[in-house]
Amino acid sequence: MTKRSRETLFNPTWEEMVESDPLLAFSFYLSGRVNVLLDLGDDIVALLDEGFAADCAYADKIERASTIMWLWTLGAFEVVRTICQASSCFSPSAQTKFKSLKKSLSMARMPAAKMEIPGKKAPVSSDRSPDGWDVDGKDLLVGDPMALPHISARTLLKEFGDVFASLSKADVLGRHENSYSGSHS
């Protein structure tokens, strides 16, 4: 290994870092929070896989996945809300993806966080399960499990991951702080 390649491996330049994680160009802090959410998503999927074993369900693992999913939903919504609020810092195609993701997250978040039916000033039942179980799909139905269409935890986690994985350096037009002043440099 040459000295330069070792330096690059252990000491990447800002350009190299942004190439691999474009959200850094918007916010170092928010990029870190997204990485935490992606890791938690992996943990949730692993718990669901273990909890819905081939011949029986392990309620403790599914319950843990449910609890983490609730917290994940709150955090993911806040991250995406912040990005949508600073929409001028992102390309039109990225804005479209984030708006769609925000809508999906909102459908899961409203019944869980505000205990309201999404889009209405009406309560969800206080005597409900926090989520439903899709045993065949090894999945949780999040938000209001009594509402249709059901919201798959796995699908929501995948959509979040896909949107952030699709982000390119060219999609980030400015820093978070600059979204308040209208400047993007």
Digit-coded pLDDT (tens) for 75-129:
999 999 999 999 999 999 999 999 999 999 998 887 777 667 777 777 666 656 6
Residue 182, pLDDT score: 58
Rounded to two decimals, what is the model's pTM?
Answer: 0.87
**Which residue, 96, 80, 73, is CA-closest to 157?**
73
Collect the ranges in the chain with pLDDT lower than 70.
1-9, 114-115, 123-129, 145-146, 148, 182-185
Q: Residue 125 carries which DSSP code?
A: P
- Across 57-161, the runs of DSSP E, i.e. the strands, are 132-134, 139-142, 151-152
User: Would you state the structure tokens that stand for residue 67, as one six-digit string?
Assistant: 């609890």
∠ CA 93-72-14, rounded to 5°: 55
Contacts 24+ apart (CB under 8 A), 141-145: 142/69, 142/70, 142/73, 142/108, 142/112, 143/107, 143/108, 143/109, 143/110, 143/111, 143/112, 143/118, 144/111, 144/117
